[in-house]
Structure formats: structure tokens, C-alpha cells
Homo-oligomer: A and B are copies of this chain.
Amino acid sequence: MQRKATLRTTPAKDQPLADPVRSRIVEGASQRFFTHGFRGVTMDDLAEELGMSKRTLYSRFDTKLQLLDSVLENKFRRAREDMSGILAARQDFPETLRQTLACVQRHTSEIQPPFTRDMRQEGPEVFQKVERLRRAAIQEHFGELMLRGRRAGFIRKDVPAPIIIEILLAAVQAIVNPARMDELGLTPKAGCGVITKIVLEGAIDPAARAHLKCLSEK
């Protein structure tokens, strides 16, 4: 079934500015690929579940891999849009951070293990594309976020921003799966609120912080 990946950089078939069928296919494929894996979702499945024929799928995408390409670009475009929207809202820094983390969490949790596994198996090209898109998005948005945090006095200057970004992303990763959140009795919103709080204020109890301050001044 799977051929070694050669993702083409040419666009899919002619795309009228808004081809609703094409969009539906990309969305439907997106949900299913990310949840159940690329391999696990056949073109027959997709056609049936979208209520159309395979012929229609192939009228807009030359190959399954080309569909995957569109799915990935769509996903990252949406993630970027969501994050840009958050930055554009001009809220205070802690709330902006919380929403950004919630956004990352939401997008990340949509991508489940079989998809990741399949991308690894599909070949280096595909995996590298995913990684490249991911890094670009993080750089663009977290970079701007850190700048704002610094200007607003929330982010300390003695620690390099990339390290703080890594800590934030690792914290999101740690609680990202639904079972974990269920276990913690958290909604995603609450989870990202907690991470924001801990990272900004630290995990030390405020009273204990005052005590520590006394000790270090002694």
C-alpha cells in the first residue's frame, strides 16, 4: 500500500479559490489521518465517510500523498492563524501566554501516535516537512510572545528565551493527552492556566518564597 514518500512541491490540481468539496476532503482527511494514522485511513474509507466516490477524491488530488501534503499545510496554516489571532488581541501577557499554550495543546493533542509513527515510516522527506513547519510556527509566535513578556517585565532577562519556550512546550506536552487530563480533573483551559501560573510565578508557595527571600538576604 505505502510507497516511499516523494512529496511533490507542486500544488494539487487546479484550486478554485474556494472549492468547498476540496476543503471538505482536506478537513475530513485531516481529522482521520491525525487520529487514526495515515496508513489506517484508506481512500475507500475516506470517500465513504465523506459521502462521495473515490473518483471525486482523485479529481482533486493526484495521490494520497498529495492529499497528505494539503492536510499538513492546512493544519499549520490554521495553527498559525489561531496564534496570530491571539497575539493580535492585545491582552495582557499572562492571558496571552495561557491562550497560546491552550492553542498549542489543542493542535498537538489532535495528532496521535499512529500518525506520528506513520510519518516516521513514510520516509524522511515527510517527517522533515512536518518538523520544518513546526519549528517555523514556534519561532514566529513564541519569539514575539517572549518579546512582549520581556517588555512587560514578566520574563526574566537572565534566562535565554529559547529555554523558556522549551520549558513551556514540555509542560504542555506532559499534560497533553486526554487520559492525563482526565486523571488530573482538568479541562484543557484549566490545564494551560496552571502551566501559565507555575511558569510565571514558579511552583513555590508565595509564603515560602518570602521565606526564601529572607534566607538569601541573610
Residue of B nearest to A115 (CB): B36
Q: Which of A12-20, A56-64, A141-149, A186-194 contacts B (4 or more CB under 8 A)?
A: A186-194
Give the copy number. 2
B178 touches A117 (CB 8 A): no
B45 touches A36 (CB 8 A): no
Q: Which residues of B contact A185 (CB under 8 A)?
A: 187, 189
- The size bracket of the interface on A is 10 to 19
Which of A36, A37, A41 has most B Cβ within 10 Å?
A: A36
Of the candidates B35, B45, B117, the one whose C-beta lies within 8 Å of that of A45 is B117
Identify which of residues 189-203 in chain A touch chain B, using a CB-to-CB cut-off of 8 Å: 189
Q: Which residues of B contact A45 (CB under 8 A)?
A: 117
Nearest 4 pairs of A and B residues by beta carbon = A40-B40, A36-B114, A36-B36, A178-B178
Q: What are 12 inter-chain pairs, A to B, with CB distance below 8 A?
A: A35-B36, A36-B36, A36-B40, A36-B112, A36-B114, A40-B40, A40-B114, A41-B114, A45-B117, A178-B178, A182-B187, A185-B189
Q: Residues on A close to B: CB < 8 A?
A: 35-37, 39-41, 45, 112, 114, 117, 178, 182, 185-189
